[in-house]
A = this chain, B = another copy of it.
Amino acid sequence: MTRIPTAPDRIVATYQIAGDENHVLARARDICVEQTVEFPADLVTDPFIAGHILGRIEGHRAITPDRYEVAVGFALEVTGGELPQLLNVLFGNISLKPGIRLRRIELPAEATRHWPGPRFGVAGLRELLGVRDRPLVATALKPMGRSADQLADLAYRLARGGLDLVKDDHGLTDQPFCRFADRVGRCAAAVDRANREIGGHCRYFANVTASADQVLPRARAARDAGAGGLLCAPALIGFDAMRSLAEADLGLPILAHPALLGAYTASPDSGIAHRVIYGELMRIAGADGSIFPSYGGRFAFTAEQCRDLAAGCAEPLASLRPIFPIPAGGMRVDRIPELCRFYGRDAVLLIGGDLHRRGDVTTAARDLVTRVIDGHGR
């Protein structure tokens, strides 16, 4: 995506707005007001407020004759260094106005003092796993309703196949039929046992999507139980709860799940672009990998949207580490060569249900890893 040159000391949000140039600039001026002072512009007379607090149009360019991109700069101070207020400044009130789409975020270098982003990212997670030269391979423990013992047995059999990551399904929380502490302890131990038996490096990611006061305690409990990473759904717990997990520095990488985020990308002219919500915002909020429903699965993202999203995971954003895009949502084993070509080396391929269609899951997992090693070379 071409970048409109902008001021390096401001947060810059690029919005796509439909209409002719005059209309678009009028809407952009409205964004400058609505996202900051939310006050009749003609009544804003204080020079500090008018000159510093108000948003500022940094530039604009036509994409088509009736669609523009406008870059709006906001003073970092306006966010108070807090992520919820950053989200508010970027897209709070204007989420309620149709025809404005957030297309890109840029941060000044100073912003990383508040939001240092992923603690691992692509390089850090590769380092943990000792896998440097191919896409990573992951699966999910499911279905909900199985006991902790049954899920641990499944985790063992999957890890025996040599997968890199085995994660909880995001719907596994702390239900009466499968308690968090029970599940996480058993699954971590099961994956550890499989690793010892085959000389593997598989990491088990525990789902810590939970009530506000339980997110951090469960993450600490997962670490203490030997989990190798964390999973959470930021739309369910709040993006800042995920950031607080990264800030807690538990030594565990974090994968973000897209549950409840779909509405943001549902309309092409409103909402938040794939690049931003599954890439840039996930990085700002500290995820090391971003799970999303890939094109060609049982959801509706297009290949172009997936490419946009992967760019948001990888392209420069202040000094935040690049993270893994994690295509999922009905991926099949026979699509591995294509997925390897499309997403390149720095992706995690997440195959769920399809592994269970192929008889013994250990054999199916081993075959999957082999296909990724082969498929990556092509």
A→B interface (CB under 8 Å): 35-40, 43-44, 46, 48-49, 52-53, 77-80, 82-85, 87-89, 91-98, 142-146, 169-171, 173-177, 209-215, 233, 235-238, 240-241, 243-244, 258-264, 266-267, 270-272, 293, 299-301, 329, 352-353, 356-357
This chain: copies in complex: 2
Q: Could you pull out 22 A-B pairs where Cβ atoms are within 8 angstroms?
A: A37-B144, A38-B169, A38-B352, A39-B356, A43-B353, A43-B357, A49-B145, A88-B171, A88-B260, A96-B258, A96-B261, A96-B262, A96-B301, A97-B299, A211-B240, A211-B243, A211-B244, A212-B212, A238-B240, A238-B241, A263-B264, A263-B267
Q: Which residues of B contact A237 (CB under 8 A)?
A: 84, 238, 240
Docked-complex contact A300 and B98, CB < 8 angstroms: yes
Are the C-beta atoms of A173 and B82 separated by less than 8 Å?
yes
In-complex Cβ contact of A236 among B92, B210, B244 (8 A): B92
> Which one, B43, B91, B176, B213, contacts A260 given CB within 8 A?
B91
B-side contacts of A353, CB under 8 Å: 38-40, 43
Q: Which residues of B lie under 8 Å from residue A209 when comparing CB positions?
A: 84-85, 88
**A243 vs B53: C-alpha distance in the bound complex, in angstroms?**
31
Shortest CB–CB separation between residue A261 and chain B, in angstroms?
A: 6
A215 to B, closest residue via Cβ: B212
- New A-B pairs, 17, CB < 8 Å, besides A43-B356, A87-B259, A211-B240: A37-B143, A38-B171, A39-B352, A49-B144, A49-B146, A53-B144, A53-B145, A78-B171, A79-B175, A80-B174, A84-B233, A84-B236, A92-B260, A96-B300, A97-B299, A98-B266, A212-B215
